[in-house]
Structure 1
């Protein structure tokens, strides 16, 4: 989940494919105002049949100890795949990948030896305490030796904002030092980017990608808690130990040799050693495109071990009645963190909330679609992906190797870590304002007496942290919405206050287990709502489009 979180325009965003462009091109007509879920005769009864009790069963199963935390490539994966496939078969859905319900996903596990230090100028920094470093390259030893250091501000190349920190700069073989987030976060009145709402340019993943495109040898991000939206411990723990990625044709050669982070205190020492004041340089970087040679060199040696493995996405399809080659795709991720046998007592990360909830909702929704008469005009496909917790890898692999052509993919609807805090009056829209999918969402929410609100903390960039983002990068309109923060009634408010403490404290912990006292009416409420959205999109005369202000609109 991403979680851990709006309208803006990025015509030049790298990675949007030609297929995605054709799927969302500006010559598509606007969504039909007359699109109605009622175009299926028994919609209301099927809608009403989506209940908390229906969701509870598969949720308990997927979150049980028997599934061992659903870590990819373990026995827990096989049990999960067997269960999901059997449920989709029972719902009457066909295999989504030819005659198979599975799509193999080739993974690469890379582990850096923690016995490393980084030297910059006269300073030596310690692993996890002052810095972390790693490499996506499939090499046993990666040496970054005496690489010239260049400060590149926010490391952004965004033509639509007239912003390029790399303009006129040759960083071939050099190491770039980059600020976290984007220039809008601490300069919201500038009119650049989206103020405190993070754009994709603020994500660490973008910064390493752009540094790689620029030919840099290394890329180091300066960590600051507020603009990053998480503390240093998250960086240190997430970047140490085994790191998963997709198997690449070039063995990672197109990536910078070393990707790393520095603590703020370490970065200030580096800037001081270069005769620069960090705060002054950051202020300059906020005003406009900025870079400066630092007159220092960086050296670090990363020793890697790596291992290939194969996991699987699950794909199941209900063929459309009249337009079976066009698909609405629902996504959820089935994976979690597995188990840690070094722990005393409970060793299993059951991942009930994250994301047995979304997978269970997908099962119940698939059964509901199977009961509609007639079927929706377009096909409805459920893609339950692997390795989300390792960086959206299952959905990224699918987007790069789509079973259903992207130009035939009408929209994506994502379900992740769904609402176990009871029914809500509002619907939290992650990345609010991005596409016309919200028109369908508003209609479905209104049926329930609800209204749409922006997610909490849009500055955290949650839209870029779950599986729908893999579709958005390819140009497919992608919706991520869930129960908000306004309880339905006083009783729910009391329950929510108590349970929210438990759920929050159990994120990615062994205590993320199914609880009989959970009020699953909120998941049922959201599942009904997203079921209606998908039905309407599947029956609409036209395709939804990105809004003009979205960075994915091309």
Structure 2
């Protein structure tokens, strides 16, 4: 650590520790008004949707840094002085240079409408012509009972996989395995991966949604050599196909696509794989560029020297999806629920630790993260580029609590896999909040928020979702269908600000117990995510 930054950190730490005295000890207060003030600013039009690398995002990052500074937190980023709050994250940007091409068995398809083929962050021009092999759901974890590649040779070929996981698979495990499909394919020697929607997926959304997203800009965080990091760099082409090209893949096969989809739609259905006859050829060209953004990171020092190198990490993503200049009327996606509410929670939990007058035994890192909407990239960068000399022993993530009702229960993703579940249960009990199972397993929420990147690094993590009790089922599902990633996700929604304060309080109680516990969080012996038992 540079001397100048060390001096600043020591000064900040001294000021912060002064707040933690017996004379100032008090029960932390969580108010609806303070919670609302953060959301109103972060989701205002001034911030233009907080897109990664944008002016609006930078304003939001400065707001969080100033909130941390005002509370007396210690800068924990990479710079010095005012820059000490920030961890710079370099990115590679990718945009399709023109429409991709797709042919199956010599028949051409409209790759811009009948396929979702996004740009590559790794190469400007790619063509892959190869045979294809259907591999069921494409899951390769035999120890957990998933062995879809057994008996199949996919070397140098496309693998064709069904989206998601078999019905009845525990939601967190299914979501994790689904996110690993490209890695599984690469490790088996495949060069491309083609995804087919299940019948359930076809009912949930139209293919035009996927085709549109494929035409948008993609980004990946840059490694020291300037190349984008990728979990499976050996997979050259990835595509999702609509019905007509998907059916063409199965021409002359021993089973029809309709037969395979019908089996997969049954509880526990696991179609076995087989070679496909048509040759597949996909070409795409990409324009590559550069972008940078920041994670905002502050620290509350711990009081126990024996635990000084065991950090508790609290996270919330600061970015949203920006603006759409081509849209008529309102063009700003304000992101009030997603995720100004999570950042408000982060700030108010920090405030509670400072104003309680009771020092946490372990040091606490608080991070407002960039590029979650681009693929959890800011979280992944922090997970692989730690800013402290010790180790992060547990993560609590705050993301999109739906605060349109007075929630009476929460879903605690990750809680069943580690001793963090005990802390969640006690915090819930103290506030009269029940714990409920995942009501939306088809959404794969466990792998869609920042904590997951730390799970992948072997760190016990938890993330709370407001539950379906007290009318929450209608409010939550209505928000997802009507307001999620739409311009209507703004402070104009009928937000229950008192529920926001309650959400901050339960997360504070969880974080406090982790910070003060005599032992660090640990994976349960039978957890699928225990590092020795899962692919990284």
Structure 1: distance between partners of 2:346 and 2:190: 42
**Alpha-carbon deviations, 1:18-64, whole Å to 9, x = none?**
xxxxxxxxxxxxxxxxxxxxx997999433x1111110111111111
Structure 2: distance between partners of 1:514 and 1:167: 52
Matches within 5 A, 1:110-121: 110-121=94-105
1:13 matched residue in structure 2 = none
Residue range with higher mean Cα deviation, 81-90 or 504-513: 504-513
Answer whether contact 1:120 1:270 (CA < 8 A) is retained: yes
Answer whether contact 2:105 2:280 (CA < 8 A) is retained: yes
Matches within 5 A, 1:200-279: 200=175, 202-203=177-178, 205-226=179-200, 230-248=205-223, 249=225, 254-274=233-253, 276-279=255-258
Out of 46, 49, 58, the residue aligned to residue 27 of structure 2 is 46
Q: State the Cα RMSD in Å.
A: 2.7
2:520 matched residue in structure 1 = 543
2:420 matched residue in structure 1 = 437
**Alpha-carbon deviations, 1:329-375, whole Å to 9, x = none?**
11100001111222222111111110011011111111111123231
Task: State how many pairs are aligned.
Answer: 498
Out of 67, 73, 77, the residue aligned to residue 87 of structure 1 is 67
Structure 2: distance between partners of 1:155 and 1:500: 29
**Alpha-carbon deviations, 1:294-326, whole Å to 9, x = none?**
122111110111111111111100000113321
Distance change >3 Å, CA 531–CA 43, structure 1 → 2? farther
Matches within 5 A, 1:194-205: 194=170, 199-200=174-175, 202-203=177-178, 205=179
Out of 432, 440, 458, the residue aligned to residue 441 of structure 2 is 458
Secondary structure, counterpart of 1:302 in structure 2: strand
Q: What TM-score does the superposition give when structure 1 sets the normalisation length?
A: 0.83
Q: 1:122 offset after TM fit, Å?
A: 4.2
2:15 matched residue in structure 1 = none
Structure 2: distance between partners of 1:165 and 1:499: 35
1:320 matched residue in structure 2 = 302
2:12 matched residue in structure 1 = none
Secondary structure, counterpart of 2:465 in structure 1: strand
**Alpha-carbon deviations, 1:411-443, whole Å to 9, x = none?**
100111123223222122235522221211111
1:3 matched residue in structure 2 = none
Q: Which runs of 5+ in 1 are unaligned?
A: 1-38, 488-492
Secondary structure, counterpart of 1:176 in structure 2: strand
Answer whether contact 1:224 1:231 (CA < 8 A) is retained: no
Q: 1:129 offset after TM fit, Å?
A: 2.8
**Alpha-carbon deviations, 1:162-188, whole Å to 9, x = none?**
433334544332111111112x31xx4
Out of 320, 327, 346, the residue aligned to residue 362 of structure 1 is 346
1:512 matched residue in structure 2 = 489
Answer whether contact 1:428 1:455 (CA < 8 A) is retained: yes
Distance change >3 Å, CA 74–CA 529, structure 1 → 2? same
Structure 2: distance between partners of 1:378 and 1:525: 24
Structure 2: distance between partners of 1:400 and 1:130: 37
Please state if 1:73 is matched with 2:44.
no
1:7 matched residue in structure 2 = none
Answer whether contact 1:149 1:298 (CA < 8 A) is retained: yes
Please state if 1:483 is matched with 2:483.
no
> Which protein, 1 or 2, shows the higher relative CO under an 8 Å CA cutoff with sep ≥ 6?
1
Matches within 5 A, 1:317-356: 317-322=299-304, 323-356=307-340
Matches within 5 A, 1:282-431: 290-322=272-304, 323-404=307-388, 408-431=391-414
Secondary structure, counterpart of 2:513 in structure 1: helix
Answer whether contact 1:136 1:255 (CA < 8 A) is retained: no
Answer whether contact 1:137 1:255 (CA < 8 A) is retained: no
Structure 2: distance between partners of 1:153 and 1:41: 61
Answer whether contact 2:172 2:446 (CA < 8 A) is retained: no
Distance change >3 Å, CA 473–CA 502, structure 1 → 2? closer
Structure 2: distance between partners of 1:316 and 1:552: 28
Structure 1: distance between partners of 2:209 and 2:23: 48
Distance change >3 Å, CA 40–CA 216, structure 1 → 2? farther
Out of 150, 155, 159, the residue aligned to residue 176 of structure 1 is 159
Answer whether contact 2:418 2:460 (CA < 8 A) is retained: yes
Secondary structure, counterpart of 1:261 in structure 2: strand
**Alpha-carbon deviations, 1:86-132, whole Å to 9, x = none?**
00000110011254111111111111245233111143222243211
Q: 1:536 offset after TM fit, Å?
A: 0.9
Structure 1: distance between partners of 2:327 and 2:438: 35
Secondary structure, counterpart of 1:226 in structure 2: helix
Structure 2: distance between partners of 1:320 and 1:365: 15
Q: Which runs of 5+ in 2 are unaligned?
A: 1-19, 532-536
